[in-house]
Amino acid sequence: MPSIRSRLLACGGVAAVVVVSSLTVGSPSQAIGGEPVADKSYAFTAKLAIGDTFRSCTGTLINAQWILTASSCFTDNPATGFTVAAGKPKWKTTATIGRMQVDTTTGQVREIIELVPRTDRDLVLAKLASPVTGIAPLRVGTTAPTQGETVTGAGWGRTKDTWVPDTLHAGSFTVNQVGASQLTLDGTPVCKGDTGAPVFREKDGLLELAAVATASWQGGCLGSSETRTSAVATRVDDLATWVKQSTATTLTPWRLQMVTTTTDKNLFHAIRDSNWDWSAFGNVEQVAGDIGDVELAADSAISGTNHVLALGKDGAVYQATRNSNGTWVAFRPLTSELGPLAGIKKIAVSSVGSELQLAAVTDSRVYHATRDTSGKWSKWGDLFASLGALPSPTQITIARVGDAAHVGVVLADGRAFHTIRNTDRTWDKWGEITKVSGAPAKVGNMAFAGTGDDLQAVLIEPTGGIKHVARLSSGTWGAFGDLGAAVLGTGPVASVAATAVDGEFHTVIIRGGVIKHTMRHKSGTWEPADTPPGAPANPAVLAVTGSWN
């Protein structure tokens, strides 16, 4: 083995530590001491092969196309510092993400094509040649750990008894000191190959990245006679703005927009961008006017403008708009335009071209209205008068599919129905979804979205089971797939919403008081569920839409 490079770091009482980059010949797969990771809990951990067999490091997938690691991994001589040039890495570098054991073919391999280093600390953002799918990133935290707090690390470095481990390892640490840009840790050994490894913690039920491992005494590592186990990790919690600005080059104009009401009748809004990063939730009434208690809301977009429809405590429907620059146009009541409608229980809205189409359920009827390109709303129209009555409707959903609007209705007895408003403004007859082969016998809620000329539907069973089905442009229904424990977990579902973003299907639910989101790619594969960080407590009803700026 080549000699280990070392450098001095100022870190409280630690006078000198050894950088944990591995200058290896042969297999670069090396991990943080601790226990092997048996499942995919830490699939966001990346194994970096720099120059093939020249150097091995660890990194963290923080969004669809970016990894955060130590800049010293890419320097000529880590012993002399961590400064590295921005741009293409000097050596060809590959990142393997989501692979728990090196002798398997699971996970995904991407080349790193660009580096964006910090100049003030041992940290670099590494851009992947293409986005990663099927692996949930680890979000960057926004608050510093505290002294005495327990954190976790995962890495591919050497362990106490294995020179070249073939399995990702993880262990716990105690935060001894919190400096301006670094943490001092003690606990599990941090060894060669762990440079850049994630140091993370759980906050509000979610894992978040707190720091990146950069140096260690290497006590407890195979081949080291050192007994001290203190390690140094570079803080990332204060770099949210830098991360967002530095990764913006991979953004597209497409966004997922979400609104959610809470049990205390407030309304919040958040955005998930094409890098899969969530914005902070903002209180809508603070920027769009106070309409009192918000019972529920619906959301749709035309280009970059969001149209938020909210049902107030007074039973009236209100409309506010959010412009693409983030400014809001205040709520206004629509009663004079739509006409009075008593007893509204649910509303749903969708854009169809440059029009908005609004659907509502009362105690006994289903209604529909449109907003034309000039911004003028039609009066409520009674769908039962045109299509025949359905007993006791409870839920409503509407979506654009091609150039038509598809409306879904759920009844109190658990049956689910579907109709289409065609481009000539005629309506198709009701069709019962719960009679389609493979459909659940009973449905408690349902959400529609259109991907091109296909309708995508998510059906929530009264027991909490979740089914997905597509209705093809030919009018035939596909096979029903299970979105339960494998993707979205188990338990009762309080609310469901769906939309299409750049041709991909997104669905969001509230389960156990937690918002869970997943997306279905055009290939038919599903992403692991993620939860928006900082979501308001006690979400009640949600709606989502896709917008293009």
The answer on pLDDT for 163 being more than 70 is no
The residue-averaged pLDDT of 126-144 equals 96
- pLDDT over 50 at 461, yes or no: yes
User: pLDDT higher for 11 or 82?
Assistant: 82
**pLDDT reading at 25 higher than 70:** no
What integer pLDDT is reported at residue 192 of this predicted model? 81
Dihedral in degrees, nearest 10, Cα atoms 228, 229, 230, 235: 160
Taking the model in full, what pTM does it have?
0.90
Question: Percent of the chain having pLDDT more than 70?
Answer: 90
Please report the pLDDT score of residue 397 as a whole number.
Answer: 98
In the chain the domains, ranked by start, together with CATH numbers, are 18-246 (2.40.10.120), 251-548 (2.120.10.70)
pLDDT at 30: 31
Pick from 22-26, 255-259, 512-516: least confident: 22-26
Cα separation, 91 vs 345, in Å, equals 61
Supply the pLDDT for residue 18.
41
Burial of 410 (0-12, 13-18, 19+ CB in 10 A): buried
Going by pLDDT thresholds of 50, 70 and 90, the confidence category of residue 34 is: low
Give all strands of the β-sheet with 514-520 in edge-to-edge order. Answer: 493-501, 504-511, 514-520
60-69, 184-193, 339-348: which has the minimum mean pLDDT? 184-193
CA distance 278 to 273: 7
Q: Which residues contact 142 (CB under 8 A, 6 or more apart)?
A: 208, 237, 240
Report, as an integer, the average pLDDT of 399-425: 98
**209 pLDDT exceeds 60?**
yes
Q: What is the pLDDT of residue 78?
A: 85
Cα separation, 226 vs 20, in Å, equals: 14
Residue 527 is classified by DSSP as P
User: In this predicted model, which residue has the larger pLDDT, 255 or 15?
Assistant: 255
Instruction: Point out the least confidently predicted range of 207-211, 302-306, 318-322, 357-361.
Output: 302-306
pLDDT in tens, 78-126: 888 899 999 999 999 999 999 888 778 889 999 999 999 999 999 999 9
Could you report the per-residue pLDDT of 475-504, keeping only the tens digit for each?
A: 999 999 999 888 999 999 999 999 999 999
What integer is the mean pLDDT of 183-207? 89
Query: Mean pLDDT in the chain?
Result: 90
Burial category of 203 from C-beta neighbours within 10 Å (exposed 0-12, middle 13-18, buried 19 and up): middle
Length of the chain, please? 549
Summarize pLDDT for 254-287 with one digit per residue, the tens.
Answer: 999 999 999 999 999 999 999 999 999 999 999 9
- What pLDDT score was predicted for residue 527? 96
pLDDT, tens digit, for every residue of 231-241?
Answer: 899 999 999 99
CB atoms within 10 A of CB 407: 25
